[in-house]
Amino acid sequence: MLILASKSPRRRDLLLREGINFCTITRPAEEQNDAALPAEQICARNASAKAEAVAIDYPEHIVIGADTLVFLDGKPLGKPTDLADAHRMLTELQGRTHCVCTGVALIFPGGFRRNFTVTSRVTFRPMSSVDIDRYLEEVPVLDKAGAYAMQEKSELIVTSVEGDVDNVIGLPVTRLLHELTR
């Protein structure tokens, strides 16, 4: 059985879209957001911690852990604490290009591990404070890194994506499927 060690409905939806049979099991895992570390290292560590927390109880299954962060000028933007924080984040992102990094950790039966990261570049439209308020009224963002959802009303805020759009949503499915079949 394949286990997704994530509560993210977006990751679940991406796997379901591909017709993958899995279950979701999560355990508490300590996440790091040390801005002094490279994006890839933070995401890889967090993904591993999530996968390990579940794999210890399910050693006979394949466990997938994932962590996605938005980075602007090398600084991680986590999930906003409230709408004012979301507005601040979107104001910082507006009119600029930022990176979205997802770390994925796979733990197979027998303890074999495969870890990888995928980074995409997202460019936002220039937006006024009114535009940002309108977006925040239409899209729930408090549980999303960087205070936005690529899969919801992205045409209001995004002009382009370089790389894997699924990665920006929260799970680079094409790369994941490649790694699972290796």
**Catalytic residue list:** 67
**Alpha-carbon span 40 to 102, nearest angstrom:** 8
Residue 155: which region, alpha, beta or left (left: phi > 0; alpha: psi -120 to 50)? alpha
Residue 172, classed as helix, strand or coil, is coil
b/e for 91-109, b at 16 or more Cβ within 10 A?
ebbbeeebbbbbbbbbbee
